[in-house]
Amino acid sequence: MHKDGQKDGISRRDVLKISVSAGLTLAAGAGFSEALAAVGARPTAQRPEAAKAHFLKSNNCSQAILESYAPSFGITPEMAGKLATGFAGGMAAGHQCGAVTAAYMVLGLAYGPKERKVFGKMEEFNREFKARHRELGCSQLLGIDMSTREGIKQAKRKGYFTTRCPEYVKTAGELLEKMLA
């Protein structure tokens, strides 16, 4: 809850409006993109660049992706940021890149809760991300052990947070745009 007494997220009334609008749009034969547009959430080619810019301000790759895409699914950027916090830096252990993990969350929002459909989209995302960058893991992408403080300092010294990581965020956004269209 916020200091002004407002709750995080959206109201039930807004959820109903969004659901009815999106449902009618889909029932009329429109695609997912048109349904998003009908509720005021437009997937645009600007989101990957916006996510990259967000990353350059925050240095949190998972937040940069989820905050850029979650509003299309009725989740506020603030709530998305809270959700994605712990996934940056390969879940603070150098594992899966936070931009990749956040992209999985977006795919879940778009295609869930059917695992078969979501997992297929994740496999497609992984294939395309690896085709561009060869790896999915934070430590592997940067060639540094990101599970240690020294590794994080080294990545910062080498400028990876302003050169390499923003490109991984942008790639995740570009792939999402393609997959959500």
**pLDDT > 90: percent of the chain:** 73
Average pLDDT value for residue range 23-52: 63
Residue-wise pLDDT tens digits, 43-85: 567 999 999 999 999 999 999 999 999 999 999 999 999 999 9
Average pLDDT value for residue range 22-51: 61
Average pLDDT value for residue range 18-41: 51
More confident residue, 56 or 22: 56
Residue the block writes with tokens 């956040």:
102
Q: Is the predicted pLDDT of residue 140 greater than 50, yes or no?
A: yes
- Give whole-number Cα distances, 70 to 3, 37, 79, 95, in Å: 23, 14, 9, 23
Q: Is the predicted pLDDT of residue 31 greater than 90, yes or no?
A: no
DSSP for residue 96: B
pLDDT of residue 13: 52
Helix axes 61-69, 164-180, angle to 10 degrees: 30
**Cα–Cα dist 87/145, whole Å:** 16
By CB atoms closer than 10 A (0-12, 13-18, 19+), residue 163 is exposed
- Cβ contacts of residue 168 below 8 Å, gap of 6+? 61, 97, 99, 100, 133, 141
Q: Is the predicted pLDDT of residue 24 greater than 70, yes or no?
A: no
**Cα–Cα dist 23/28, whole Å:** 8
**Average pLDDT along the chain:** 85
By CB atoms closer than 10 A (0-12, 13-18, 19+), residue 98 is buried
Q: Is the predicted pLDDT of residue 159 greater than 60, yes or no?
A: yes
Q: Residue 170 corresponds to which tokens in the numbers above?
A: 């942008």
pLDDT of residue 45: 74
User: By mean pLDDT, which of 32-46, 49-63, 87-101 is the weakest?
Assistant: 32-46
